[in-house]
Structure 1
């Protein structure tokens, strides 16, 4: 499926409100007014349901404008999964039987689940859903994903009979599901957010032309889970072709990443005055840095924000940490890159370099 979709497909088909921040040009990549790079795999939910599939998994690259640090990258990968049932007595019986089957599996497994009520005033059942059926579907979602997490994390070193897999469910909000949840796993001494999910908005199924159905959907980021399981410290490494990185991994095996080198950082600051009555979004600044320096940048932090008391002009200062994953960087090389960053700031935002 093409990564280029319409904003209607990416947002409106999924009940995103008109003022949702994800629609902003500072958060998403627009090719033009009518087309954008998908920000999530949910953009294809309606398309998948129209095919008549009752359960499916979809994996794709997604794109977001974001800050620069070790865990954020403008492109990453998501898995979207969904399952729907007939909204009928026979469909309800199918859900009940499946719930009993998976409950039996989990009862015999080394997993501890911290759950929350399926029905909550702040995380409501949809008005056009039977509350009893919706609760059964939410339970089916939880059981299915608890089983998935058991498969993914249950065999990892450090989780044993003395230390079972711990899973925690938290209420959440997503425009395209209700009730909605986030799921966390306790791994290596801390709770890690793994995925978001919920009972599918009936409006989504209606838009797809799917009648008399009820179901659930979830989405998770692959890089985030891989970083946890393999101990990979920097998301940029996923795009490396360095044999020292690639050769460490085999299909179907989870092994801990062994750092092959830690090259020194090269810090550079850029300070500038903004034009009167103007602003620069941090994601815009990060995009200039990415466009100019590519993967040579490890992180970007704003270290100063100053408003002159007499002129009322605003000054910003950002610290850019340049560090290659594969080689040492020379000061001369980075001075040249830093100069290009400053030139792009002047050209695109008419700032005054200090």
Structure 2
């Protein structure tokens, strides 16, 4: 590997690295050879470097690295810059500017999988590991500065000068003097994945007897057809799904429906579901099927399910089928269609799984798309309670074994009656309530939230089969929430990252505690105030969805700061605080500011508000 060292004072750090097998060292400094050799011990270190085959280069400007190396010798696997400083009494602003230009210069000479190591004195970096931590404006803000050039902080370690043989720091205020390195930190940066390019994308799906295409909503372009549940996937949501199914199959006969056979689109309007929670779809020009063709395709009735309405009856009575289409927000209609066609055996578990799509507010655990596992079982009337307990016990056993295998800690798993549920419902549970009556919530609690988060719901449908002997029991589980809780993933967006470092942590589907490869990502706060249109209710979900679209899921939080009503006119004004932060890639302050400006423009165009 090729290692580049910048800003060497007396070359003692470079000399300590040289000689390692398989490592070619290129040691540089900003001064001329004559100036550098005059520092105490520098001449001896330079001789040692040259004797070991290392390169020593002088008068190297760390902000113009590509100018100092030939094209074929520009790629370095590791770049060291220990205790950078502009010299003399330069303040934090000048040193930030130096780092910014340095990181931009590194983009042209660092290998794709390379690392940048920057050692800073205690307090300079501005991360939570600095003790004591300076105020943000008084630090070098190294993570934000690096993000501007496309780098993320992937590790931080103490800079242990005493363990580096022969090392002696020098260069205090551009002099041949040492300085205090106690508590110093070595910051390790890696390349971020490139910003996503959200080009319009079309998707094909089956609708009745026809194959139709539609344009994917922009917020879902990077999430449609990702194949997390496919056979060759090692994604944790698939591992959890397979483990749950394996556990259930030991208790009862089981039939799994292929997720690829479940259409993405439904038609009509889901009863009881808020209009703003649905991803409405317009079919590509010339794609809308006729009512006649749709009726002919009703063998696949899941496409027209209205969450409990009898679709076949509507068609038989000649009711027109509305030409409205939307991405499926649940797998429940598919299960209801199976039940209506009686395409099952009583006592056999019917298992469906696949991604579902719901507009929602922005929080770390509110997902516009997640993978649902739906289990449906027809049992003898009067035995439904024991059936529910059997399902829950089975799920508990599987989740306990998974979580203990990951962290060694047993999670708290509880079944709570919907009528007495005391904890505030999360967005998943709130939406599930819109789909129909719920008997029980399944909650999983882990540190630091032992009270539990709702990850599943259980329903009984006494009249679904129109049978005096049988009752339908269904359990719906949010696999993404389970993956977050079991693997210690704090932000749902990480499950959908394009960065390969995520899946590398789960080789061959093995569940492990997740370790973030992007530490202390910088956040940027912007406020936006606006007047609401007269006489109109404000659709907050649409506001959050627009923020998702404009930022490419770079908004981590939206908080209402002020709700003002103007005396006399009654006009309402809202002020929101929007926080931009990425969990997996570099986000610089300039990029965040551009997103905010774009957001303001889109708000006026799509929400009809008047900016203040």
Please give the TM-score of this superposition, normalised by the length of structure 1: 0.74
Distance 1:82 1:323 in 2: 39
Q: Equivalent residue for 1:236?
A: 493
Mapping of 1:67-146 within 5 angstroms? 67-85=361-379, 87=380, 133-134=381-382, 136-146=383-393
SS in 1 for 2:575: strand
Aligned partner (choices 263, 286, 290) of residue 2 of structure 1: 263
- CA separation of 1:253 and 1:289: change in aligned 2, threshold 3 A: same
- CA separation of 1:192 and 1:286: change in aligned 2, threshold 3 A: closer
Aligned partner (choices 323, 345, 350) of residue 56 of structure 1: 350
Aligned partner (choices 452, 461, 465) of residue 205 of structure 1: 465
SS in 1 for 2:280: coil
Runs of 5+ in structure 1 lacking a partner?
Answer: 12-19, 88-132
Contact kept, 8 Å, 2:279 with 2:359, in 1: the verdict is yes
Runs of 5+ in structure 2 lacking a partner?
Answer: 1-261, 283-322, 420-432
SS in 1 for 2:538: coil
SS in 1 for 2:553: helix
Contact kept, 8 Å, 2:353 with 2:374, in 1: the verdict is yes
Q: Does 1:31 align with 2:281?
A: yes
Q: CA deviation at 1:178?
A: 6.7
Q: CA deviation at 1:148?
A: 1.8
Report the RMSD for the aligned CA atoms in angstroms. Answer: 2.7
- CA separation of 1:249 and 1:219: change in aligned 2, threshold 3 A: same
- CA separation of 1:254 and 1:321: change in aligned 2, threshold 3 A: same
Q: What are the superposed Cα offsets for residues 137-156 of structure 1, whole Å, 9 maximum, x if unpaired?
A: 22112122211221122352
SS in 2 for 1:157: helix
Q: CA deviation at 1:31?
A: 2.2
Distance 1:182 1:150 in 2: 17
Mapping of 1:216-255 within 5 angstroms? 216-255=473-512
- CA separation of 1:344 and 1:314: change in aligned 2, threshold 3 A: same
Q: Equivalent residue for 1:214?
A: 471
Q: Equivalent residue for 1:300?
A: 558
Q: Does 1:187 align with 2:446?
A: yes
SS in 2 for 1:338: helix
Q: What are the superposed Cα offsets for residues 226-267 of structure 1, whole Å, 9 maximum, x if unpaired?
A: 000000011011111212222111344221011122310011
SS in 2 for 1:225: helix
Aligned partner (choices 132, 150, 168) of residue 414 of structure 2: 168
Q: Equivalent residue for 2:241?
A: none
SS in 1 for 2:526: strand
Distance 2:583 2:528 in 1: 23
Distance 2:565 2:436 in 1: 43
Contact kept, 8 Å, 2:403 with 2:410, in 1: the verdict is no
SS in 2 for 1:324: coil
Q: Equivalent residue for 1:113?
A: none
Aligned partner (choices 514, 531, 546) of residue 257 of structure 1: 514
Q: Does 1:152 align with 2:399?
A: yes
Q: CA deviation at 1:272?
A: 0.7
SS in 2 for 1:194: strand
Q: CA deviation at 1:320?
A: 1.3
- CA separation of 1:187 and 1:334: change in aligned 2, threshold 3 A: closer
Distance 1:160 1:249 in 2: 14
Q: Equivalent residue for 1:333?
A: 591
Distance 1:71 1:160 in 2: 21
Q: Equivalent residue for 1:196?
A: 457
Contact kept, 8 Å, 1:177 with 1:199, in 2: the verdict is no
SS in 1 for 2:442: strand
Distance 1:328 1:51 in 2: 52
Q: What are the superposed Cα offsets for residues 29-84 of structure 1, whole Å, 9 maximum, x if unpaired?
A: 22265322121111211222226223211001111111011111211111100111
Q: CA deviation at 1:282?
A: 0.7
Q: CA deviation at 1:159?
A: 10
Q: Equivalent residue for 2:548?
A: 290
- CA separation of 1:175 and 1:231: change in aligned 2, threshold 3 A: closer
Q: What are the superposed Cα offsets for residues 167-226 of structure 1, whole Å, 9 maximum, x if unpaired?
A: 432222758777711122343333332311132241x324xxx78532311101011110
Contact kept, 8 Å, 1:244 with 1:260, in 2: the verdict is yes
Distance 1:175 1:284 in 2: 18
Distance 2:336 2:400 in 1: 30
Distance 1:353 1:179 in 2: 42
Contact kept, 8 Å, 2:374 with 2:476, in 1: the verdict is yes
SS in 2 for 1:256: coil
- CA separation of 1:154 and 1:190: change in aligned 2, threshold 3 A: farther
Aligned partner (choices 509, 523, 528) of residue 270 of structure 1: 528
Count of matched residue pairs: 291
